[in-house]
């Protein structure tokens, strides 16, 4: 969902430990400088680039759920939802045009994960949003100077550590922080780089995860980037949006806000060892998707810790621990009684980088654990081989197959 500039090198990003491709800050300044220097040196390389990837996976669930689903009742997993079958994930095609003053990006996606990534929009054959489904990003950036730029269009969110693009994340399975945060924004944002180590982005956008807006108010987004020392990046992210839906009379005048504070940080301790952290706190009032909802403010939050190690030039291993708390029931992560819940998950992922960075193989083990639902052993979070919900945890083992170009 977020932006990255490179083609073949993008496949190496997860191995090296980088995170968000939309978080530009000083990186954008450096890109402008590189483009200018290349022109001065007589580089005739085309300003057009074409890149993308495709991914598929096979995941086995040790609970052997009858439905062959990893979801539990409500969205326990973001995209790797099917067990016991080979599955297509996402196909991306990305086109960019870059010069020293501007950049244009058209980022199209197809496949099951593109459907899921169209969060918040109606999906229908030849309907009003059928073609919008394929557009993950479509924006342009104008560089007023080597420090100040503005971007207009639809762009991936700045919030969170992980992204929708499988080659960019070290882990294949996505966190609940990713799954329960915003996916993308449509609007206008401006970025000012104070130096190579600090920048500020602010912007105005439509309602959360929507191409259009559901009221006359605009959401406010911001991001402060600082790099206190070399190889340590910190992003302080924020979004506040009035999500009252004027088309629903019962809540038309309600202050149905959606608000998230988020911190993302990574430290490349050595050339081979990376530590990362993502923490978020969210609050909302009403149903921000517009179907009516609670009148009281409800909150959620979570933290995820990341550790990646490059063992050899072609193999790395990374671990993620996450705690996500939705006990107020604000987000989609609920238990079998439609009550708010919380989860702990641990993910261990290998990363083989082959064929000059084009082929990524990611073997992965993930454990999801939830509190028991009351005292009724037949109403737990996950399904067993008989189709009964008797399990409050699940362990999945699988492999992702990714080709990036």
Give residue 13's pLDDT.
38
Handedness of CA 236, 404, 165, 334 (dihedral sign): negative
> Distance (Å, rounded) from C-alpha 172 to C-alpha 58?
11
Q: pLDDT tens, 131-178?
A: 667 888 999 999 999 999 999 999 999 999 999 999 999 999 999 999
Q: How far apart are CA 204 and CA 287, in angstroms?
A: 21
With beta carbons less than 8 A apart as the criterion, state whether 363 and 396 touch.
no
Q: What pLDDT, on the 0 to 100 scale, is given for residue 6?
A: 32
Q: In angstroms, rounded to a whole number, what is the distance separating the alpha carbons of residues 173 and 159?
A: 18
**Contact (Cβ atoms closer than 8 angstroms) between residue 284 and residue 35:** no
Mention every residue, 6+ apart, whose C-beta is less than 8 A from residue 385: 63, 64, 65, 66
Structural contact between residues 351 and 319, judged by C-beta atoms closer than 8 angstroms: no
Instruction: Measure the CA–CA gap between 84 and 57, rounded to whole angstroms.
Output: 10
Q: Compute φ and ψ for 42, nearest 5 degrees.
A: 80, 20
Work out the angle at residue 284's Cα, subtended by the Cα atoms of residues 335 and 282, and round it to the nearest 5 degrees: 80
- CATH 2.40.160.10 for domain 8-404, yes or no, is yes
What does the alpha-carbon distance between residue 86 and residue 60 come to, in Å, rounded to a whole number?
Answer: 10
Integer CA distances (angstroms), 344 to 15, 175, 300, in order: 25, 10, 14
Which of 324, 326, 347 is closest to 335 using CA atoms?
A: 326
Q: From CA 65, how far away is CA 388, in angstroms rounded? A: 9
Contact between residue 330 and residue 288 where contact means Cβ atoms under 8 Å apart: no
Q: How many residues does the chain have?
A: 405
How would DSSP label each residue in 177-188?
A: HHHTS--EEEEE
Give residue 40's region: left, alpha or beta (phi > 0; psi -120 to 50). alpha
- Provide the token pair at 382: 């996950």
- Mark 152-174 as b/e (b = at least 16 C-beta within 10 Å): bbbbbbbbbbbbbbbbbbbbbbb
Q: What pLDDT score was predicted for residue 287?
A: 56
Q: DSSP for 282-313?
A: EEEES-TTSS---SSEEEEEEEEEEEEEE-SS
Please give the pLDDT value at position 40.
Answer: 45
Q: What angle do CA 223, 226, 227 make, to 5 degrees?
A: 145
Structure tokens at 223: 């991001």
Measure the CA–CA gap between 206 and 110, rounded to whole angstroms: 24
Assigned token pair, 253: 């005048």
Name the stretches of the chain with pLDDT < 50: 1-41, 252, 288-293
- The number of C-alpha atoms within 13 Å of 293 and in the hemisphere containing its C-beta is 26
Residue 11 confidence (pLDDT): 35
> Domain coordinates of the chain in residue numbers?
8-404
Other CB atoms within 10 Å distance of the CB of residue 271: 10
Query: How confident is the model at residue 297, as a pLDDT?
Result: 85
Instruction: Report d(CA 282, CA 291) in Å as an integer.
Output: 20
Q: What is the spatial distance between Cα 81 and Cα 99, in angstroms, rounded to a whole number?
A: 40
pLDDT at 202: 98
Task: Report the pLDDT value the prediction gives residue 390, as an integer from 0 to 100.
Answer: 87
Helix/strand/coil for 317: strand
């Amino acid at each position: 969902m977020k932006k990255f500039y490179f083609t073949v090198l993008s496949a190496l990003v997860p191995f090296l430990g980088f995170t968000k491709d939309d978080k530009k800050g000083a990186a954008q300044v450096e890109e402008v400088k590189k483009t200018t220097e290349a022109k001065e040196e007589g580089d005739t390389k085309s300003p057009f680039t074409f890149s993308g990837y495709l991914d598929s996976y096979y995941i086995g669930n040790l609970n052997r759920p009858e439905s062959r689903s990893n979801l539990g009742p409500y969205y326990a997993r973001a995209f790797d939802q099917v067990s016991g079958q080979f599955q297509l994930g996402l196909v991306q095609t990305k086109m960019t045009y870059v010069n020293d003053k501007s950049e244009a990006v058209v980022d199209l996606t197809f496949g099951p994960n593109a459907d899921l990534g169209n969060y918040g929009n109606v999906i229908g054959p030849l309907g009003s949003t059928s073609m919008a489904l394929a557009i993950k990003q479509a924006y342009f950036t104008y560089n007023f100077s080597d420090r100040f730029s503005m971007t207009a269009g639809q762009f991936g969110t700045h919030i969170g550590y992980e992204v929708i693009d499988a080659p960019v994340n070290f882990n294949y399975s996505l966190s609940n922080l990713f799954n329960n945060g915003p996916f993308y924004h449509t609007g206008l944002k401006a970025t000012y780089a104070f130096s190579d180590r600090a920048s500020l982005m602010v912007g105005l956008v439509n309602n959360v995860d929507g191409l259009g807006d559901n009221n006359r108010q605009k959401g406010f987004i911001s991001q402060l980037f600082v790099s206190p020392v070399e190889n340590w990046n910190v992003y302080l992210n924020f979004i506040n949006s009035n999500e009252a839906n004027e088309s629903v009379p019962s809540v038309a005048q309600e202050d149905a806000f959606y608000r998230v504070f988020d911190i993302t940080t990574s430290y490349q301790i050595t050339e081979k060892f990376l530590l990362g952290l993502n923490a978020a706190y969210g609050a909302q009032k009403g149903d921000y998707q517009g179907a009516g909802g609670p009148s009281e403010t409800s909150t959620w939050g979570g933290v995820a810790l990341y550790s990646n190690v490059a063992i050899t030039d072609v193999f790395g291993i990374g671990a993620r621990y996450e705690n996500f708390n939705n006990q107020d029931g604000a987000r989609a992560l609920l238990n079998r009684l439609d009550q708010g819940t919380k989860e702990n998950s641990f993910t261990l992922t290998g990363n083989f980088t082959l064929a000059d960075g084009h082929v990524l193989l990611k073997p992965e083990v993930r454990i999801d654990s939830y509190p028991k639902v009351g005292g009724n052993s037949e109403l737990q979070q996950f399904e067993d081989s008989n189709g009964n919900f008797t399990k409050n945890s699940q362990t999945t083992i699988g492999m992702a197959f990714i080709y990036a170009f």
